[in-house]
Amino acid sequence: MNKSNKEAVIEDIAKDALNCITTVAADAESARSSHTRGNATAFTTINTWNSSQAVNRIGAVSDSEAEAIAALIQQPVVARVHFLDENEEEDVIFITRTTPRPVPGYKIASYRTELGKIASLAAGDEGSFRFGPKQRDLLIESRALLKPSRDQNGWDARNTEIDIRDLGKFTVGSLRDLLEPKNQIAEGDLNALWEDDSEENVVAGVRRAIITHMGLRDQPILDRHQDEIFRMPINTKCFLSGPPGTGKTTTLIRRLGQKTDRQALQETPGELRLIEQVEAETGRPHETNWIVFSPTELLRQYVKEAFAREGLAASDTHIRTWDEFRREIARDELKLLRTGTGSGPFVERRTQNYLSDDVADEAAWYDDFRAYLDAAIADELKADADWLAGRRADDLSAIGQLLTDALDTSRKDIYAHALRSVSELIYDVRIAVSTRNDEVSRLLAKARNALVYEDRNFPNALRDEISRQLAVAAQASEDEEDFEVALDDDDQIEAEPQPGRPVNRQQALVRLERALKALAKARLARRSVSEKTQDGMLLAWLGEQRLPSDDDLKIMGELLTEQARLRKFERLERLFLRGVAPKYKRFRAERANASRWYNSTPAKPSDIFWQELDLVVLASLQIANELLEHYRRRAGGDLPITGLLGTLRNLHRAQVLIDEATDFSRVQLACMHEISHPTSGSFFLCGDINQRLTSWGLKSNEALDWITSSILRKSITVSYRQSKRLVDLAKDLASLGGSEAEDIILPDRLDVEGLSPVWKDGLTDLAKVSDWLTNRIHEIDRMLGRSTTIAVLVNDEADVEPLAVALNERLEEISLAAVACKNGKVVGNDRDVRVFDIRHIKGLEFEAVFFVGLDETVAMHSELFAKFLYVGATRAANYLGITFAGDIPKVVTPLGPHFQEGW
């Protein structure tokens, strides 16, 4: 190209880019009209009964093709790169966001492929890339970042950033306007002298785009540093940190897009083999075998929208908040929370007053519980083995002696070790259990027949009495929960009669036999059955005259006790996993007595707060994974497909990603890590320690080592959101909050300096606050001459609606509206001034942000106020305003040099 003519070079780039955009879009539209979804009937050799994975993959591949075509129609190409190779041969390649289609006359590659990395290089950079079988060393001559759009006049690309070697960087407002013929201006036409530079279509330098849409910034092409991070192998565990606006979430999204693109993964056979192994084990297509965690519902919605732009179909099951996900798995998979059937050891409570301040160190709290749990399990197994070894029955003593020898060791992997040790004895254990079960059944049948012999209507009377008692809602005892429910199968639990449902005779018999068993065990232990429990109420109704003889109860009690000890070894997996809940209750009671972690115990033993539930969930997941790893290492490596472990296997995902990770506790992050499939080992977190808004959130980079020492640390420092003045303020805010200010690099932009933030004290009531905000919004509207995104942040949800109403009345005169975004729910449109509780706006960005009542924030959150201010201030790209109801607090006055009173 002729570098002496800047205009000619830019026009050549514009012409070639628009031609390619138009051609690729037309080809994609043609492909869409002829595209039909693939199905298994087209593959006659597939047996759909045993090859559901293959069938799913066919559907997934076909669906991904349709999605790629739709993405090309919406956004044909996103970059054009002109390069020279080592032989001075020049060429041009276009980059698509997702999977491209071959188009004659153009070289096109997906950004997700290795060749797509070329788009992250700047003009003048060098790199080595493979084109088919040939490796070429390249020098980038020019790069154009394209934002295609189509209107009634056809395709265009707006605000195109063009970087040309030796000529510099330029922003082109419209490629189409650049190429359309202009009316020639006469040599003597003096009116041309009145044209402003800002009205020029081609501007030297990179011009910052005004934020006109609330959400996450769309950045199809990443910079070189971001690019290297998102392309790391799929089996990488990584924490990506960086200041606000550096593209952490964008990098996360690009990574998932690339790591679910099977075509892009063809270039890395090792990664492809890993995902195929995970697919074979989980039976879930790799394209959908992932989960992303977000700390707030609002951010979850915008992350979901950003995934859609990336061509990733993200359902509500893929992008989750931890609160809802924890509640779901604790209730349905782990069976920790009580359901409508009455099963489940815990009821989650939203408030509590018994946890001490010590639980702020949640990792130490969990370590204490886990040590208690492991020791209790080991001691219990050893005690049961010794008890069996000391019995007179030959079968019990033989089993007990072998178990005592096998378990007489101290090991870290107590759960897997116990499973291995018992596996060779399981047949003998089951025979011993079955023998005692038959004898217990004989005694129960004897008691049942005696009752019916005396009264042929007894089954109906029993059924009616149980129905009446269920209405009283008596609860099961703690002992019953430990030894019965923990080891019973789910279908046994569900067979129990439930309140509000008709009770049949078989269910009544189940309840009767359970009560008699409870009585037999209580008599043997020389205690009584509480009449407040379901069993106690039924026994009281039966009366002494209708109970089995003392001899039968004694024999039954002994058999049941022996059976219970044996069943623990027969059902170790259930004992370990179902035993976590009752042992946590005991741990809590003991530590409360010692005034450690707890100031007291809750009103009911079944009550549990969400922080406690995190502990129990993590212990359950870790134990389950230890047991599953035992099965993987066995000869054959067959994994359980049913039962508790089969259910928990289904929680595994090939990729687990976490946005705004610093708002989660280490225990929560560890739970998410346990969901990551051990074969793929893909665990990707991003966040900023300085943006932590919770007292329990991640407090340091090093704290992640508690989860696993294999997490890599990566950071990015180029801030694409904020102006220099706001970046400088953010650095001082970080220092104010007790953190080290990170080195932030600003991109080479024309308007990088920006405007100073503004603040105002003495705004004592809603009217004064609204008047000041309205004046500032007027200023922004006059300076920009167009609508933009504006957020107003308040300290409490109760302040959202009143301020929105007051602002709305004042903004009507400039045709703007203020809307209340209650509980972080988005309403209105992007022209509206939105009012939020500050807790809901993590991860989002706006052109202008106002933080209302900072002095109240300082009073309410003396330890976290700097974090709140940091998060609020860093949502703004260029305009930031802060108000105070009273005087500016002394703790904030060091920030004074950054501020002025108006724009």
pLDDT of 411: 67
* φ and ψ of 775, to 5 deg: -60, -40
Model confidence at 497, pLDDT cuts 50, 70, 90, reads low
* Of residues 208, 212, 210, the one with CA closest to residue 789: 212
pLDDT of 473: 61
Better pLDDT: 450 or 49: 450
pLDDT higher than threshold 60 for residue 445: yes
pLDDT higher than threshold 60 for residue 835: yes
Better pLDDT: 1 or 674: 674
pLDDT of 215: 62
Number of H helices and E strands in the chain, helices first, is 29, 23
pLDDT of 488: 59
Lowest mean pLDDT across 382-386, 699-703, 860-864 = 860-864
Three-state secondary structure of 851-867:
ECCHHHHHHHCCCCHHH
Q: What percent of the chain has pLDDT over 70?
A: 87
Name every residue whose Cβ is closer than 8 Å to that of residue 243 and which is 6 or more positions away in sequence: 688, 690, 717, 719, 727, 730, 742, 744, 874
Six token digits for residue 748:
């080479």
Reported as half-sphere exposure (CB side, CA atoms, 13 A), residue 92 has a value of: 15
pLDDT of 5: 80
Cα separations (Å) of 662 from 233, 461, 698? 23, 60, 5
pLDDT (mean) for 512-529: 93
49-91 residue pLDDT tens = 344 455 455 455 566 678 789 889 999 999 999 999 999 999 9
Q: Are 810 and 770 in contact (CB under 8 A)?
A: yes
The dihedral built from the CA positions of residue 690, 691, 696 and 702, taken in this order, carries a sign that is negative
pLDDT of 341: 65
Residue type at 855 in one-letter notation? D
Run of H or E including 348: strand 347-349
pLDDT of 77: 96
What would the DSSP string read from start to end of 433-473? HHHHHHHHHHHHHHHHHHHHHH-TTHHHHHHHHHHHHHTTT
Checking phi first, is residue 240 left (phi over 0); if not, alpha (psi -120 to 50) or beta?
beta
The Cα–Cα gap between 830 and 459 comes to: 68
The Cα–Cα gap between 487 and 59 comes to: 41
pLDDT higher than threshold 90 for residue 485: no
pLDDT higher than threshold 60 for residue 692: yes
Q: What percent of the chain has pLDDT over 90?
A: 55
* Of residues 95, 98, 91, the one with CA closest to residue 115: 95
Model confidence at 245, pLDDT cuts 50, 70, 90, reads confident
pLDDT (mean) for 795-824: 91
The Cα–Cα gap between 25 and 72 comes to: 6
pLDDT (mean) for 574-587: 94
pLDDT of 724: 86
Name every residue whose Cβ is closer than 8 Å to that of residue 498 and which is 6 or more positions away in sequence: 340, 341, 342, 470
Spell out the alpha helix ranges (H) of 712-844.
724-736, 766-784, 800-811
Six token digits for residue 721:
């959101």
Checking phi first, is residue 843 left (phi over 0); if not, alpha (psi -120 to 50) or beta?
left
781-799 residue pLDDT tens = 888 888 889 999 999 999 9
Six token digits for residue 666:
């280490």
Q: What's the mean per-residue pLDDT of the chain?
A: 86
The dihedral built from the CA positions of residue 310, 313, 314 and 316, taken in this order, carries a sign that is positive
Residue type at 283 in one-letter notation? G
Question: Furthest-apart CA pair in the chain: how many Å?
Answer: 123
pLDDT higher than threshold 80 for residue 37: no
The Cα–Cα gap between 646 and 95 comes to: 43
The Cα–Cα gap between 254 and 260 comes to: 10
* Of residues 81, 113, 121, the one with CA closest to residue 97: 113
pLDDT higher than threshold 50 for residue 46: no
pLDDT of 471: 77
